[in-house]
Chain A
């Protein structure tokens, strides 16, 4: 993504931001609240059209594509909350995630031709596989509303993974998780990076610093730093952005300082 700018009416949400997610890498996107992280994310998955800038995907330029078309090209994302379908079982939720792998068409479904059944069985296998990978197989027949929040998040992740995307966009996957669950998540993300690229928006700095290969830092819609975790941590502009925005980002700053080992303070 090169030179992305987004303006909502007169409000500039992003100004000339560029980032590249290399194949097989985990790329972190951080910044204080309101920095434009989520907007950048929405541009990447097609929910928001950039006012300026180009998005290149596997050597070709993406223009004016809707999220469902991007999904078919191999870009999957999780939502900030959970965003599961409340009226579908966990298994069905994940099967919807495998939508682009479905082969049986409308007519075979209408006439219940056995090939449609076979296709369904195939999707079910895939979905159960994705659930097993996230240790959520036992919940397959339950409805999301009856499950604890961390399990719902795992199911949402399974729904994104089952599509076997080449780029996985994770929007605050650690929110609401305990320390242990967060550690597991970190291991999972590192494990996944062997199969796909990951773009991660996250508030928990220790997680970001641990799993990311590259980090882009945004503040007020501007890109203020980019590089490896070490480079970013040692960048004075980053510390200032976090400390300067004291009211909203006190917690973030504290965490950043903590992972710094206190060397950057002052």
Chain B
């Protein structure tokens, strides 16, 4: 998606040692530069596991020190961030755009809703895996078509997916519930979880808390796996395909295969995101998976910084919390609720535009570029 990357290239050109045409955020190098200083272990697995454990501890502290309402909102952030993480791999690393990820989330969401509705529901892990597997399958089919398309054509094709797929719910009213959608039954809360929370914070565990923990766990696992891919040969190959098709092909890379793989990985994340959404929102309906959802995901990854998992997370947090913060701010200024809600969207839009104007590589991307720039300046001086 060269058109998505042009703002970043403008920023990159200003530096003497920063990537020129790709987003700075998406260049998580797969090969450590010679003599790089780091406190983290060199072994990728150990390094990522360490970060994973630290993040898990942080998440538990966050969930236990906040009230249930906030816990619920963390669930929203989690499903946005899972899907955005998958999308940032596709768009940021491999250069393919998708306007259809909302629809892919619907596949995961409906799968979860249907399977939880069974008389004797299977274990949640199995249900989630099934949701991921089915969405990956759909992603593979779409990916094969997408691998042949570029830019606006790819956007158009995935847009058709976004518009068309949720319509299936209306067509199969009997099983998929039509316009009203399906209410999602809450999964049973296991005993050990109740015990663990009691000993941990003395708080009373609730269904909301259980779902918040599941969401965060899914988020962490997804990001762990995606980070592994990005730092590996796979991530490097994706970026090569994105940057220079012909050169990549001449190096022995099968463009089509790698594009489809990227789409499937991205779809798998979307499927899990849909499954988490079903638990968090407790309803899967066509209105939940519209084009607006797909566009929100794109907004999140662009605001955060294309190709960066941390950027996708930051973007998702903003997406969930910014409108709410603005609404609260409006109400504290003596507006009535309806007014505050309307104004909040205007301000939200303005903030997004301003961020893109001043941080064209996204929040995380722009910070990374600034760091690169200062390092280049220092090395130029030294």
Contact = CB atoms under 8 A, between A and B. Distances in A.
**A and B interact physically:** yes
Contacts of B21: 86-87, 145
A110 B20 contact: no
Nearest to B93: A87
Interface string B266-289: 000000000000000000000000
Interface string B243-286: 11011111111110000010000000000000000000000000
B159 interface: no
Contacts of A215: none
Contacts of A79: 246-247, 250
Interface string A88-131: 11011001110110101010011111101101100110011000
Contacts of A146: 15-18, 20, 376
A123 B233 contact: yes
A104 B254 contact: no
Interface in B1-39: 12-13, 15-23, 26-27, 29-31, 33-34, 36
Contacts of B165: none
A67 B249 contact: yes
B381 to A, nearest CB: 16
Interface string A65-89: 0111101100011010001111111
A96 B250 CA distance: 10
Contacts of B232: 104, 109, 112, 116, 120
Interface in A31-72: 45, 47, 66-69, 71-72
A114 B251 contact: no
A141 interface: yes
B233 A120 contact: yes
A100 B246 CA distance: 16
Contacts of B23: 87
Given A106-B234, A117-B45, A146-B16, A95 B31 contact: yes
Contacts of B209: none
A163 interface: yes
A120 B246 CA distance: 23
B136 interface: no
A159 B251 contact: yes
B43 interface: yes
Contacts of B250: 45, 67-68, 71, 76-77, 79, 160
A42 to B, nearest CB: 10
B34 A140 contact: yes
A96 B234 CA distance: 10
B142 interface: no
B54 interface: no
A149 interface: no
Interface string B217-237: 000000001001101111011
Given A67-B249, A106-B261, A111-B228, A87 B239 contact: yes
A112 B30 CA distance: 12
Contacts of A110: 225, 228-229, 234
> What are the 8 closest A-B residue pairs judged by CB atoms, nearest first?
A87-B22, A145-B20, A141-B33, A71-B252, A109-B232, A85-B243, A112-B45, A112-B228
Interface of A: 45, 47, 66-69, 71-72, 76-77, 79, 83-89, 91-92, 95-97, 99-100, 102, 104, 106, 109-114, 116-117, 119-120, 123-124, 127-128, 140-146, 159-160, 163
22 contacts: A67-B250, A68-B255, A71-B249, A71-B252, A84-B244, A86-B243, A86-B244, A87-B20, A87-B26, A87-B239, A95-B233, A96-B248, A97-B251, A100-B251, A109-B234, A116-B44, A117-B44, A117-B45, A120-B31, A127-B31, A143-B20, A145-B18
